[in-house]
Amino acid sequence: MSTARTPFIAGNWKMNLDHLQSIAFVQKLAWTLRDAKLDTKAVEVAVFPPFTDLRSVQTLVGSDDLPIAFGGQDLSRFDSGAYTGEISGAFLKGLDCRYVLIGHSERREYHGETDADCAEKVAAAIRHGLIPVLCVGETAEDLERHGASAIPVKQLREALGPVQRGQELVVAYEPVWAIGSGQPATPQQAQDVAVTLRGELAELLGDETGAATRILYGGSVKSSNIASFMREPDIDGALVGGASLQLDEFASIVQFQKHVVL
Ligand SMILES: O=C(CO)COP(=O)(O)O
């Protein structure tokens, strides 16, 4: 198994923390991780704040050279023009975003995003030099009807149509039933889906890209369960919602290596 994938711990803030709160949070996070002597080469940390926070986060991270990446929670499939309320990937790139979330289940549920929309957004992200973090996952009903992997695999296949082999991307497996429910998937369930998704990536984009792509687990991740997910060979990190808003909890998740009992 490839060990070249740098673990990636990302906080999806969803619609929480305004621009002032974002500055305080990111500053304190950086201090906490520095005091804990986090090896920033051994784990990549990222936050996904609301759009209105990004300029503040960029200024702070840039001026203090903090080892924290950031990205948008969504982007427009268009580049510019008469699309009221939309945010171009060009604007995100201009604010030094490295990543962008695409196809989060809340976008799919509340904004009717389809796999075809996700494919267009993946293409837009790549056009603007952003690394897509494609979110896939099944509902409880899907799980009962089709098992755990069928829907995530379909979502992956349909959204990755425009992607060329060698493209850097991140896939986040987030079972909808595990998001915000306090009921995470078991590490084995998450590993089973992750290995299936990796197989699909290898088929779609070649073995090398399949082996290099980081696959995250998301859904009720906490400091008390992160180590059990990170122990799985095909899970390379976590996309954290609620727990990413609590500084000590998120800092502890980032330091998952300290929890690992071998
Ligand atoms: O949706 C999520 C991250 O994108 C997961 O949310 P929770 O960690 O709150 O379950």
- pLDDT for 94-112, tens place per residue? 999 999 999 999 999 999 9
Instruction: Reply yes or no on whether 104 is catalytic.
Output: yes
User: Which listed residue (104, 106, 138, 249) is catalytic?
Assistant: 104
Residue 238 lies in a domain: yes
Q: 220 with 179: CB under 8 angstroms?
A: yes
Helix (H) or strand (E) holding 115: helix 115-127
Average pLDDT, integer, range 59-86: 98
Atom of ligand 1 nearest to the CA of 239: 3
What is the residue range of 46's domain?
8-258
pTM: 0.97
Strand pairing class (131-136; 214-218): unpaired
Q: Where are the alpha helices (DSSP H) in 36-88?
A: 54-64
Of 35, 26, 8, 33, residue with least CA distance to 62: 26
Residue 69 lies in a domain: yes
Residue 197 lies in a domain: yes
CATH number at residue 174: 3.20.20.70
Alpha carbon of 202 to ligand 1 centroid (Å): 27
3-state SS assignment for residue 1: coil
Q: Is 88 annotated as a binding residue?
A: no
CA separation for the pair 101, 130 (Å, rounded): 10
Average pLDDT, integer, range 230-255: 98
Burial environment of residue 166 by CB neighbours within 10 A (0 to 12, 13 to 18, 19 or more):
exposed
Hey, which of 101, 108, 174, 244 would you mutate to test ligand 1's pocket, going by the most ligand atoms within 8 Å of its Cβ? 174
Look up residue 112 and give its two tokens: 């009717």
Q: Is 154 annotated as a binding residue?
A: no
**What residues line ligand 1, using a CB cutoff of 6 Å?**
12, 104, 174, 179-180, 218-221, 239-243
Tally of domains in the chain: 1
Q: How confident is the model at residue 211 (pLDDT cuts 50, 70, 90)?
A: very high
3-state SS assignment for residue 200: helix
pLDDT of 258: 87
Instruction: Reply yes or no on whether 44 is catalytic.
Output: no
Residue 26 lies in a domain: yes
Residue 174 lies in a domain: yes
Residue 221 lies in a domain: yes
Average pLDDT, integer, range 37-57: 97
Residue 1 lies in a domain: no
Atom of ligand 1 nearest to the CA of 101: 4
User: Which listed residue (106, 113, 174, 232) is catalytic?
Assistant: 174
